[in-house]
Structure 1
C-alpha cells in the first residue's frame, strides 16, 4: 500500500465516525421535533372540536367550515386535514360531548359522598355541556351505530345508571323515577324554546333544573303516571 493509499484509508476511517455522529444527531433532532409536531397537531384538533361545539349550538350544524376554522384559530387546510367532511366533524364532536358528560358523571360519583348531591352535580354539569341544544342539531350527521359512538354511549349509560342507582339505594331519589326519566327531563329543560337561541335559555336552565331536582327527591308528593323509564326504554324508542 502506498503512502497515498494509507492517507486515504486514514481519512475514510476518521470520516466514518463523524458521519455516523452526524446521522445520530439528525435522528435525535427529528425525534425531538416529532413529539412537538404531534402535540401541536393534537392541540389544533382539540381547538377545532371545541370551536365546532360552540358554533353548532349558536348557528346550527350547517355553519360554513371557514367559520369553524376562524373560531378555532386555524386555517381551512388544517381543518380539512383533520376532518374530511361535516359528518366526520360531527362524529368527533359527539364523541367529545359524550366523553365529557361521562367524565362529569364519574367525577361526581367519586367526589360526592352524598348520592343525591352527586346526582345533582352531574345534572348541572351536563347542562353546561349544552347537550339539549347540541345533540338535536348534529343528530342527522352522526352514525350512531359506529363502534366508537356505541362504546361512548354505553359508558355514559353505565355512569348515569350508577348515579341513579346510588340515589335510589340511599332512599333520596323517588322510586318511580328511572335513569331514562332523568335523561329526557335534562334534555328537554336545556333545549331552546322554538324561535329562540340556545344562549337565550342559559340564564334560566340551572334554575329549571333545580326545580326538577327538588321534584325528584323522595318522598314523592304525588304519584307519577306510568312506570319509571330506563335508558333501555329510551334506546328502543329513539
Structure 2
C-alpha cells in the first residue's frame, strides 16, 4: 500500500510562478472588490493582476471561488493583526488599549468592511475554511478585548460584536465612485469611536452588548 509520503512525492507541487500569479490575482481581486464591488468583471481583475484571462480561470473555476479566497485573505490578515496586538498587550498590560487601537486601525486598512457585500454573493459561508478563519478571528479579537478590559481600559458593556460591527460599517465602501474620497475620514472616525470605548464609560449604552453569534442569528 502506498504511503502518504510516497503519494505526496508523486503529486507535483505548484510552480513558484503559478503561486505568484495566484497571489497577484487574489490581491487584485481584493482591491477591485473594494473599489467596485464583488461583481466587477473578472477580465478587469486579470488586467489589474497583470495576467491573462485564462490564468484567472486556471486558478479559479468561477467568481464564487475567487470571492472565497479574498474573504479568507482579509480574514486571516485581520486575525494576524489581532495576534500581534495580543503579543504587545501581554508584554505590557498597561498598553492593552493602545494595542487594541492599533489593531482597529490596521484592520481598517485591510478594508474588512468590504467583506459585507462579498458575503451576500453566491458562495458557501459555512465552508470549513471560512468557519475556521472566522472562529480564529473571533477568538483573537475577544482575547485582545479581554486584556484591555482586565487592564481597566475598556468599558465592560462592550463585546466582540459591537467592535466588529463598528469596524465593518466604518470601513465599508460607500456606493458611487464619488464617495471614494470619503476614505480619508475613516481613521479619524475610528479614533472617535475608540475614544468612546475607553473606561470609565461616560454614558450607559442602550440594549445589550452584541456577540458575533448574535449577529449571525439576526
* TM-score bracket for this pair, using the shorter chain length: 0.7 to 0.9
1:137 aligns with 2:126: no
CA distance, structure 2, for counterparts of residue 230 and residue 219 of structure 1: 21
Q: Alpha carbons of 1:206 and 1:155: their partners in 2 closer, same or farther (altered >3 Å)?
A: same
- 1:144-163 correspondence runs (5 A): 144-163=125-144
Q: Alpha carbons of 1:192 and 1:51: their partners in 2 closer, same or farther (altered >3 Å)?
A: closer
Residue in 2 that maps onto 1:173: 154
Q: Secondary structure at the match of 1:154?
A: helix
- 1:67-146 correspondence runs (5 A): 67-112=44-89, 113=92, 114-132=95-113, 134-141=114-121, 142-146=123-127
Decide whether the 8 Å contact of 2:72 with 2:130 is kept in 1: yes
- Aligned positions, number: 203
TM-score, L = length of structure 2 = 0.87
Could you tell me how far 1:178 is from its partner in structure 2? 1.0
TM-score, L = length of structure 1 = 0.80
CA distance, structure 2, for counterparts of residue 196 and residue 39 of structure 1: 36
Structure 1 unpaired stretches of 5+: 1-30
Q: Secondary structure at the match of 1:175?
A: coil
Higher helix share goes to which structure?
Answer: 1
Give per-residue Cα distances to partners, 1:11-70, cap 9 Å, x unaligned.
Answer: xxxxxxxxxxxxxxxxxxxx9xx87x6111111100000000001111121111111011
Bigger-Rg structure (1/2): 1
Could you tell me how far 1:136 is from its partner in structure 2? 2.3
- 1:1-238 correspondence runs (5 A): 38-112=15-89, 113=92, 114-132=95-113, 134-141=114-121, 142-195=123-176, 199-237=180-218
Q: Secondary structure at the match of 1:42?
A: helix
Structure 2 unpaired stretches of 5+: 1-8
Decide whether the 8 Å contact of 2:25 with 2:45 is kept in 1: yes
Decide whether the 8 Å contact of 1:191 with 1:198 is kept in 2: no
Q: Secondary structure at the match of 1:211?
A: helix
Could you tell me how far 1:227 is from its partner in structure 2? 1.9
Could you tell me how far 1:195 is from its partner in structure 2? 4.3
